[in-house]
Amino acid sequence: MKAARHRGQQYKTLLASTAKLTSDCFTSFLESRNYTGEAIFDHQEGTLSLEITPRGDEVHKDTRSLSGGERSFSTVCFMLALWEVVEMRFCCLDEFDFFMVNDIHMENFNQIFLFV
């Protein structure tokens, strides 16, 4: 019983540290375009919230209130943060840049290529 409690505690510690690292990576990737934000994991409720502030704009607590390009960029940043934290054999994206204008499109491609 003691070992099971210990494993449970280790799992909670791993969960919290992974969430913190993912949020920190997400924030770092957002900063490449002077955005601020964070990923908020609520393990009790089983939810994830992304708070994003594009270039000194107001805080968006719902990604649906972002423009298409801002939402696409934020999504790429979150995926890159996940890829940074969780080791995967290969990564695949499809039409992530659909709503992006050319300047943002090239920035995102460069960011992804630098990561890979």
Q: With 80 as the cut, is the pLDDT of residue 101 above it? A: no
* Residue 83: how many other CB atoms lie within 10 Å: 15
Q: Tokens for 91?
A: 């990564």
Please determine, for residue 50, whether its predicted confidence score (pLDDT) is greater than 90.
yes
pLDDT in tens, 9-20: 999 999 999 999
> Which token pair is 68?
């298409």
Output DSSP code: residue 60: B
Nearest Cα to Cα of residue 49 among 10, 22, 9: 22
Which of 44, 39, 16, 41 lies closest to 28, judged by CA? 39
Residue 99 has pLDDT above 90, yes or no: no
For the chain, the structural domain boundaries read 2-115
Mean pLDDT of the chain: 83
pLDDT (mean) for 72-94? 81
Q: What is the pTM of this model?
A: 0.77
What's the full length of the chain, in residues? 116
C-beta separation of 26 from 37 below 8 A: yes
Thinking of the domain 2-115, which architecture would CATH place it in? 3-Layer(aba) Sandwich (3.40)
Q: Give yes or no for a contact between 42 and 34, defined as CB atoms under 8 angstroms apart.
A: no
